[in-house]
Structures are given as C-alpha cells and as structure tokens.
Amino acid sequence: MKHLLRQTFRSGKFLVGFVIFMTILLTVLIYPLFVKDPPLGIISRGTFLAPGIYVNVYDSMNSSPRYTLILEGAASRRVAGKLGDDDRQAMQEWLVAKGVPEDSIDIADTAGLIALWESNFDPSLRLPGMTNADRNYYIRLTASLEGLLATEDAVVAAANPETGALEEIGVITQTDYVNVGEVPNSRLFVLGTDNFGRDVLTELVSATGVSLIIGFVAGIVATTIGLILGLVSGYIGGLVDDIIVFITNLFTVIPTFVLLILISFSIGQEQRGAFTIAVVIGVTSWVWTTRAVRAQVVSLRNRDHVNLSKLSGHSVAYILAMDILPYIASYVVMALILQISSAILAEAGLSILGLGPRTTEVPTLGLMMRWGLIYQAHVLNYWWAIFPVILVIALITFSLNLMNTGLDQVFNPALRE
Amino acid sequence: MKFTRFTIVTLLLVTLMAVAVVPSIAQDTLPRNETLYFNGQQWGPVVGWNPYSNNNNNAMAIAQQDNARVIMFETPYLYNMLDGQVYPLLADGPFAWNDARTELTFKIKPAAHWNDGTPLTAEDVAYTWATHVKYNTPVGAANLDYIEDIVAVDESTVVIKAKLNDAGAAVNPLLVQAYVSTNYVISKAWTQTLEERVAGDPVALLADTAEDVIYSGPYGKFFADDSKVVYVRDDNYWGQDASMWGKLPVPKYLAHTIFKDNAAGTTALKAGEVDVSQQFNSNVQDLWLVDNLPISTYLPEAPYGIGASLPTAFFNLTGSSYGLDNLAVRKAIAIAVDYPTIIANAMTNQSATFDQVPRSLMNPTAGEQALYDHAAVADLQWAGNDIEGAKALLDEAGIVDTDGDGWRELDGQKLSYVATCPNGWSDWQAAIEVVAAAGKEIGIDITSNFPEWSVYQTVVTKSDAPLPEGYDIFMMWSDGAGPTQPWSRIRKLMSSEFIGMPSNWNGNWGGYSNPDADALIQAIPQETDAAKLKEMYTELVRIYLTDIPSFTLMYRPQSFHTVNESVWTNFPFDGDGTNPPVPPLNLTDGWSIAGLYNLELVNP
C-alpha cells in the first residue's frame, strides 16, 4: 500500500492534478472560517459592481486621523479623471460644428477650454450629424465639469434636526487623505458582485463546495450502482447477466443528458435540492461503469484463485468482495474520479437550462453561470460574474482528469513506462 | 473508413457554411440606409398575416391592443400614452358621443384607401365588426358584452351602438370608446374572399394564413422566413395625403431578425445591426457609459423609460393561506419589502422608485398621476424597507414568536408562506427573492419557489377554487398604458367580478372582494365629471392601500425602447420637441408610429 502510494505520487500528472484539486478543496474549507457572510446575502444595491475595494464615503469623510500628502500631479490627475483626451477632442468637434474658429480652441489648455465651453454650449442646439446619444454625452460631460478646476476646500454640511438649516460640520481640502485600513467600513470585492448584488467570491467558494458535494454524491451513487450490477452480472452470468446487460444496453442508447433533463423536469422545482440533483445525476450515469466492470469480472471469474475460493465453499458475496474486487479496485477508483468530474459538468449543464437545483437555497457553479447568462454578463463584459466560475469548473475537471490519467499510468501495465 | 469520415465532416462543414451564408446574402440585399432593424418583438418564424386571428406569431405587424401596432393594419384612432389622448388615423376628426352616451360616431378620411387602391369606407368598419361577431373571433368575444352593433350610416360615417343595461345607459362607454383605437379596420372585399375560401368555417377562417391580405398601412410583407421578417413600404400609401402625415415614413424597409435569445439580440444591438430594441438590457447605461456606443433610451438617466405597468405581488385571499386574511400580516410583509433593492437589482434601475412615484393604482405617467389626490392618501403610502415598523405592527396585533423558534405565530400556528413567480422570468424571480428575504427579517417564514410557466398559469388563472399550496404570495402583471386606464388596471387588480371564473385571464387572482370598491369600479365608466372621477379614484387608492390585497413591486415600461444611432437618428426622446409628443414605443405602437416620419440618417 505504501509502495503504491509512493508510486502514485511519483507520477507527475497525478501530482499536478492532486495539488490543484487540494488547493480548491482547502480554499473551500478554509475560506468560510475567515469570511463568515452568508454566501447568498444580497449586499449591493445595484448589480455587477466591478472588483475592487469599496470605501465608505461617509466614514472616510469623518475619519479622524486625516493625513496631508503633497503628491505631484494630483490636481492634473483629478482633472484627467473627468476630462480625458477623448473628451477634449469631442468638445473641440462640437465647438467647431457650432462655428467657433478652430484655431481659437486649445484643447491642452483646460481652463481656457472649459471657459470656452461654458460660454458656448447649449444642450438644446441640434447640430447636423449629432445624435441624441451625442447630446446626452455632452450634457453628462458638462455636468462633470462643474467645479473641476476649483482649488477651494469642500465644506461638509449637515441639516440641523430641529431647524432643518444646514450647518457646517467639516472641511475637506484637496490634499486630505485617509488610510483605507483606518476607515471603519470598507469592503473588498475580489470578484465584484453579481446580478443579485451578492459577493461573487464568497458565493463562488460556497458554490464550489456544493458542486463538489454534488460531484461526490453523484459519483458514489453511479459507481456503486455500476459496480454492483457489473459484479453481479459478470460473475453470476446466465439469465441474470442477460437481464442486466439488456437493461444496460437500453440505457446506453438513450443519451444520458436527455434522460437527465426529463427526470429533472418531471420531479419539479419544489423537489429539486442539490442532493436530489446529485442522486438524479448518479442514477443516470452508471451505465459505462457497469459494462466495464462486467467485462473485467467475466475475464476474472474463471481464474484459479476464484475457482479455489468457490471450492472452499465461500459465498458469492465473499468471493466478489475478496477475490474479484481487489483486482478491479484501481479501475473503480479511476471510474469514480471521472464520474465526479462529469457529474459536476452535468450539474452545470442542467442549471444553465434552468433544471438544476432551485435558486435560493444553495449556490452551485451551474446556477451562478445560469444567472450570469440570464443577465447577459458575458455580453455586457461583466467578466467577473462568469469567467471565474468557468475557470473553477475547468480546474476541477482538469485536475480530476489529470489524476485519473496519472493513476492509469501507474495501474495499467500496458501504459507503465 | 477514413475517407468516409472525411467526407461526412466536409459535408457537415459545407452545410453549416451554407446555413450561415444564406441569411447573410438575404441581409445584404437590404440597403442598410433604407432599413430600420428591430429586435425583441419577433421570436420564431411568422405563421400568418391574418388580422382576424390571434395565432399569427407576427409580432411586428399584428397586435390589436391598447397601443395597437399599426405598420400594416390600421385603427381609426391612435392612442398616445404620453398625453392620454387619441389622435385620428383612418378617422376624420375626433369621435362624438350622443347626449345619452349610447352611440359613438366618427367619420372615415376621404383619402383613406387600401393598398390595392380601392377606397376604405365606413362599410369596411361595419363589416369587420360583423365578421368578428359572426365567427366569434377573439376581438368579437371580448367586445360582445359592450358593443351592440357597428353600422355604416353612409360612405364615410360610422356609428358604434353600445350595449345598454336595464337603465338604458351604455354598459361600459369606456370600453366602447377604446374599440376605435384598439382594433383594426379590415377590408370587406378581402374578408368576403376569405369567407368564400373557407366556406364559412370559423376554425378555418381563423387558421387561414392570409398571404393575399389587403391592408391600409404603410408597410406590407416583403420577405419572411425562419431567420427574419421584412416589411416593405407601400409607396402608394394613403397616409402621404395632406389630411394625415403629408409624407411617407422614412425607412423603406422594416426588418426584424429572429434572434435565438436576448443575448444574441443585445450583441446585434451593440454591433449596430439593430436600430430599435425592445429587449430588457440589464444595466443599459453601460452601453453608453462604459462601451461608448451611440445608444440611448427615452430618458438619459434612470429609470431610462416611462413606467406603464405595475408588476404586482398578490396575496392569496381565497382562504387557503393561513393568516393572510389578517391585515396586519399582509401590511407587515408589504412594508418590510426592500423595494429600492428590487428596483436597483432586479430592474437594474429601469423603474421609477417609490420615493419618486409613491404607490397608488396609477402608473407613473403624468396623466394618470393627476387622477388622484396625492395628499389625501399620503399617510397610507409606504416606501418599503420598514422592518421596525413591520415588527411593531405584528407585535401590536399579538402576532409574536411564542415558542421561541424564531418565527411568529398567529393563534399558535406558525406563519409560513411560499412566494412564487414563473421560472425563467429573471427580473420577477430576483424580485421574489427580495420579498422572501423581507419575511425572514420580520419573523415570517417566506421561501421562494419558481414553477414552470405552463404550470403556473393554469394554477393562477383558475379562480373558481381556492389556490393550492405554494401560491401564498404570487406575482402577476397589471395593465399598462391605454385608453381605458387606469380604470381597467384598477378593475383587474380589485374587482371581485372575476372570482369564480374557471379561466381568469383578467386579474384579481388573489380573490379580493370589497363591495365598496366594486361599486366604484362599476360607476367610473359612466362618470364624465373630472372632479367626481378624481374623488372616486382617490377613494379606490385609499381602499387599495388600506386593505392591501396585493402590492406593487416595481414600475415597468410599456416597451424597453433602446435605440442605436449608428445609422438612423431623431428617434423620440424626452424633450424632443414633438407635439403631440411621440411615445417611446418602438415607432410601431399607437401614436409612436409618428416617429417613423421623423427619422433621419446620421450620414445622409
């Protein structure tokens, strides 16, 4: 056993797959210890917030240690953030179209450009070739120019609860900074938020866990059914074999996924929990395991040690468990790994069609993709809501398949180097 | 073996390429500068062109509704949702009621004619109605209770005789009046041809695909298959007469590519292959803010469109949901729901908030908002998210958690409900999730469930028995903008007349019943005094917000009207200076067709 394990880990493919898989598994186990938020909690009002650190404006305004930093180019960065080169170009185009002589416009001179703009821009003017989208753009641009070049401090005021009058409560200068770590409320969204306003990373970790459980349950169910049927069919033979082979062949010709869709649809959404889906996937994907196990058992059952065991009066169950199973155990383990990986894919496929587990109880990788697709995250460039999910699915199946190939190299004499 | 496989793969590839290339060839034959492309209306191939039938799947051409789709078939009047008025199309001048309000008279424009050149007369209007009645078409069945007859007095004069009640007054003058802007005028000559063809068989008449149909509108069939449908302008269109538009609509072709799904449609919109989009695009503002595309909506800022309908969550009041007959429970749930999150997340801000437009029975249009006294019901309106208020309300009513399991009980029985809407209706599902979350905040166990639409619709519309388990709080729509609004919407939200219907596609699916409300709903269509009407509407709002038989979750536009100005410009937008204002209904519905005459090319 020790030798076998050592040999297994000497396989490069298995090792890489194992490391990836364990990394994912450990993340799933450890992450919830640090981030205790419920994975399905709706925390943003507004959807698909981009990844980043979100700092509470109110708190940072009131944050007591405030630091003064004299950073070079701060003012020009402030201006560039609101008035980029494209914006200047667009302003020039508009002014020229209105009849302002081109040589009187210097787009590098911010103050001059803004002054010229403010004295000329008229949102109701319809210039030839200008669309309503352009007009909306210029109106937005004009609004964002408000106070752009101001050097005065900003005054913070609050309404007096009794009189309703505004009273000054603070002043913010342009060189004031706060340390993000000292602001009481800030939130890091490593992967942004999704269409419901949920933290994608927290949801993704939890979904990975659920999908792995679905994979394990489905894999174990499928492998158990496949193994038992294969052992019985191959060893006992005769009529029992005929019947099992008949059923197996019947299931082989029906596409598994179609069967899966039909069963999922007919059990209805009320009953479709993650566990149910796992079992459904399991009971529809045992066919190939049965066939392979049966084939191996047929070749094993006339071996001498099996006959010897029979003569010794051992029961069928004993023979199957002690004399046959050990010979095909490596195959069964490999089949199990593949079943797990294909079950995770099957859940994703089902969920994308809307036939997976119901939305609210637990997140799964398939459900995350489904909602991302419904809200068109892939079309509207919200990569963080869909790409990490695909990556995790790919990594899980890739690592499992890699482990499988690695094991194959160790156990299959034909492939041994 | 290898050769065979190679052959098969090659054949497959060639087929695939052929499939991909054929539509694009057809597409290329339409000059881009003369074609206006749409999305979001037509899903699947067109079945027919029969204006009597409901099963044409011809969304661009045939929709007899409050804002009737009039590119091919025309109504006497066009409804404008922005000012609530109707404007004559085939009709000549405004319609007139007689003093008793039992007969409505209008004239047909002398210029009006069919696309084959024959004049369109009052006789066509009368014969259309007669056919609807004779063959019991959907239009006939819907109006038979309100319209006695439609007759042609002479060549150009039409009189609609209302069905009278025992008192000798019209049963419902409002619905009679709505007929003229909702239903098409269909050619008598063509109808007779059709009747001959189907030998008077009503089923065959409705099933006829009517490829030979005669129409009066500016566009007719050019091309239709399973990849797209294209309409071509009739350059002999009567509307270019000075008595109507005085010119032809600008685009020569209207085309609607049949997209696989919303995502495909959005991709085409972004690429500039679609000019007018009737699709829900989440975070539509990113199309111009982030992607810098020449795309805009009717309003430049949220809510981007004009809300017209009120998607609403109904409480099951049919007796099968324990505790929902208790007003405190209903009110607590309704005021605890986080509506700002529904609007920000489920609708991605494409709905006015309840701070902007306080809840009532009216949609956010100015015309409807003016119909009730805001101050009189201000203390009944809630903006939501009032967890503490809801808890206090329940505590006060004695509905508290007595057994310490975290959930409240009413008379010893735990309050637990299922909130539901059809599966796949993404914005509704997201909204229902928020409703369920509100329940957990206030100690009422609400879980969500999303059955398939086929199941959902049969359950919800069966109003002759108590609703089954799993439908305690369920979402349905309400009427949008139209000539009978807000009366018709209120009726469908509150009137008890629908209770007992085996197939109720009207409303009040929760089974609410209040004789005072019923009496007001009965009386409004007969009332003409504006001050009196306002009083009645205010009273209805007061009853609705007091009894809370259902609660509106969001405002939803009549159409998601998003335009890409890569090729065409001068689409309607708020403050575009048109008078009467052109509503944002994709240039095809009701008065919005006026927008087709204003379009300009960006690069002529």
Q: Could you tell me if A161 and A251 lie in one domain?
A: no
Query: What Å distances lie between residue B381 and B397, B442, B468, B494, B503, CA to CA?
Result: 20, 20, 31, 17, 33
Least Cα separation, residue B159 to chain A (angstroms) = 44
- Find chain B residues with C-beta within 8 A of A371's C-beta: 426
Q: In this complex, is the C-beta atom of B569 within 8 Å of any C-beta atom belonging to chain A?
A: yes
pLDDT per position as a tens digit, B278-290: 988 888 899 999 8
Answer whether residue A361 is part of any domain: yes
**CB atoms B283 and A359 under 8 Å:** no
The answer on pLDDT for B211 being more than 80 is: yes
**Which residue type is seen at A315?**
S
Same domain, A381 and A289: yes
Are residues A231 and A206 located together in one domain of the fold? Answer: yes
Residue A360: list chain B partners with CB under 8 A: 433, 436, 447-448
> A132 vs B571: CB contact, 8 Å cut-off?
yes
Which of A42, A131, A137 lies at the smallest CB-CB distance from B437? A42
- What residues of chain B lie within 8 A of the CB of A363, using their CB? none
Confidence of residue B15 (pLDDT cuts 50, 70, 90): low
* Pairing outcome for strands B253-257 and B35-39: parallel
Q: Is residue A417 part of a domain?
A: no
Looking at the domain assignment, is residue A266 inside a domain? Answer: yes
Give the number of domains in chain A: 3
Residue type at B437 in one-letter notation: A
Query: Which chain B residues contact residue A374 at CB under 8 A?
Result: 424, 426
Yes or no, beta carbons of A195 and B293 under 8 Å apart = no
Residue B5 has pLDDT above 80, yes or no: no
- pLDDT for A269 equals 64
Q: What contacts 24+ positions apart, CB below 8 Å, involve A66-71? A: A66/A176, A66/A177, A66/A178, A67/A176, A67/A177, A67/A178, A67/A179, A68/A173, A68/A175, A68/A176, A68/A177, A69/A175, A69/A177, A70/A175
Task: Tell me the per-residue pLDDT of B109-156, one tens digit each, with 9 for 90 and over.
Answer: 999 999 999 999 999 999 999 999 999 998 998 899 999 999 999 999
B-facing residues of A in 180-239 (CB < 8 A) are 195-197
CA B120 to CA B102: how far, in whole Å?
Answer: 25
What pLDDT is recorded for position B581? 93
What pLDDT was estimated at residue B254?
95
Q: Hey, are the CB atoms on A196 and B345 less than 8 Å from each other?
A: yes
Q: Is B447 part of the contact surface with chain A (CB cutoff 8 Å)?
A: yes
What is the reported pLDDT for B430? 86
Strand B556-557 and strand B307-309: pairing?
antiparallel
Cα B154 from chain centroid? 35
The string of DSSP codes covering B501-543 is -SS--SS-TT----HHHHHHHHHGGG---HHHHHHHHHHHHHH
Q: Which of A84, A114, A145 is the last residue of a domain?
A: A145
Which CB contacts under 8 angstroms, 24+ apart, belong to A165-171? A170/A61, A170/A62
Sign of the CA dihedral with A250 first, then A254, A255, and A258 last: negative
pLDDT at B8: 56
Nearest Cβ partner for A131 among B282, B344, B569:
B569
Instruction: Find the closest chain A residue to B267 by CA distance.
Output: A379
Asked whether residue A230 falls in the same domain as residue A375, the answer is yes
| HSE-CB of B188 using CA atoms within 13 angstroms | 14
Instruction: Judge whether A416 lies within some domain.
Output: no
Output helix, strand, coil percentages for chain B, rounded to the nearest 5. Answer: 35, 15, 50
Q: Which of A84, A79, A128, A126 is nearest to B292 (CA)?
A: A84
CA distance B519 to A89: 64
Say yes or no: A184 and A199 in one domain: no
**Confidence band (pLDDT; 50, 70, 90) for B1?**
very low
Contacts of B472 (CB under 8 A, 6+ apart): B315, B316, B321, B324, B417, B418, B419, B420
Tell whether B598 is within 8 A of chain A (Cβ): no
Same domain, A173 and A81: no
Enumerate residues 294 to 353 of chain B having a beta carbon within 8 A of any beta carbon in chain A: 294-296, 300, 340-341, 344-345, 348-349
**Up-side HSE of residue B381: CA atoms within 13 Å toward CB?**
21
Q: Is A80 on the interface with B (CB under 8 A)?
A: no
Supply the DSSP symbol for B379: G
Mutate to test the interface with B, among A379, A382, A384 (most CBs of B within 10 A): A379
Q: What is the pLDDT of residue B25?
A: 44
Instruction: Note which residues in 241-280 of chain B have CB less than 8 A from chain A.
Output: 262-263, 266-267, 270
Q: What distance in Å separates residue A266's CA from the closest CA in chain B?
A: 11
Instruction: Determine the distance in angstroms separating the CA of A191 from the nearest CA of chain B, rounded to an integer.
Output: 17
Nearest CA in chain B to A136: B300
3-state helix, strand, coil in chain A (%, to 5): 65, 5, 30
As for the ipTM of the complex, it is: 0.81
Same domain, A137 and A56: no
Give the three-state DSSP class for B571: coil
The pLDDT of residue A201 is: 94
CB contact under 8 A, A358 and B450: yes
CATH classification at residue A36:
1.10.3720.10
Same domain as A278, residue A258: yes
Taking the Cβ of residue B470 and every Cβ of chain A, the question of whether any pair is shorter than 8 Å is answered with yes
Q: Which residues of chain B are within 8 Å of residue A48 when distances are taken between CB atoms?
A: 282-283
Q: How many CB atoms lie within 10 A of CB B361?
A: 24
What average pLDDT does the segment B500-504 reach? 87
C-alpha B559/C-alpha B279 separation (Å) is: 8
Choosing from A86, A111, A145, the residue where a domain stops is A145
Residues A117 and A206 in one domain: no
A124 and A218 belong to one structural domain: no
Inter-chain contacts counted by CB atoms under 8 A, chains A and B = 108
If you average pLDDT over residues B233-259, what whole number do you get? Answer: 94
Test B348 with A140 for CB contact under 8 angstroms. no
Average pLDDT of the residues in B185-203: 94
Contacts of B293 in chain A (CB under 8 A): 133
Q: What percent of chain B shows pLDDT beyond 90?
A: 68
Q: Please list the ranges in chain A whose pLDDT falls under 50.
A: none
Residues B427/B284, Cβ–Cβ less than 8 Å: no
How far is it, in rounded angstroms, from Cα B358 to Cα B377?
10
Name the one residue in this structure whose structure tokens are 């209008």: B106
**What is the pLDDT at residue B592?**
95
The whole-number average pLDDT for the span B336-359 is 92
Q: Are residues A225 and A296 in the same domain?
A: yes
Please, are residues B144 and B134 in contact by the beta-carbon 8 Å criterion? no
**Structural domain containing residue A56:** 52-67+154-188
Contact B449 A371 (CB under 8 A): no
Asked if residue A307 and residue A225 are part of one domain, the reply reads yes
Instruction: Give pLDDT tens digits for B20-47.
Output: 444 444 545 789 999 999 998 888 889 9
- The answer to the question of residue A78 being in a domain is yes
Facing residue for B470 by CB, picked from A44, A270, A373 = A270
Report the residue of chain A nearest B271, measured CA to CA. Answer: A379
Q: Which of B286, B424, B448 sits opposite A354 (nearest CB)?
A: B424
Which band of pLDDT confidence, cut at 50, 70 and 90, is reported for residue B3?
very low
User: Rounded to the nearest 5 degrees, what angle is found at the Cα of B294, between the Cα atoms of A85 and A137?
Assistant: 50
> Of the candidates A188, A214, A249, which is a domain's last residue?
A188
Rounded mean pLDDT of chain B? 90
Does A46 reach chain B within 8 Å, measured CB to CB? Answer: yes
Distance in angstroms (rounded) separating the CA atoms of residues A79 and B566: 30
Question: Which tokens hold the place of A49?
Answer: 């917030």
B603 vs A contacts (CB less than 8 Å): 129
Strand partners, B449: B420
Mutate to test the interface with A, among B260, B277, B282 (most CBs of A within 10 A): B282
The 8 Å CB, 24+ separation contacts for A286-289 are A286/A221, A286/A222, A286/A223, A286/A225, A286/A226, A286/A229, A287/A226, A287/A248, A287/A251, A287/A252, A287/A256, A288/A226, A288/A252, A288/A335, A289/A222, A289/A223, A289/A225, A289/A226, A289/A227, A289/A230, A289/A332, A289/A335, A289/A339
- The predicted structure's pLDDT at residue B162: 94
The answer as to whether A13 is a domain residue is: yes
B425: confidence class by pLDDT, cuts 50, 70, 90:
confident
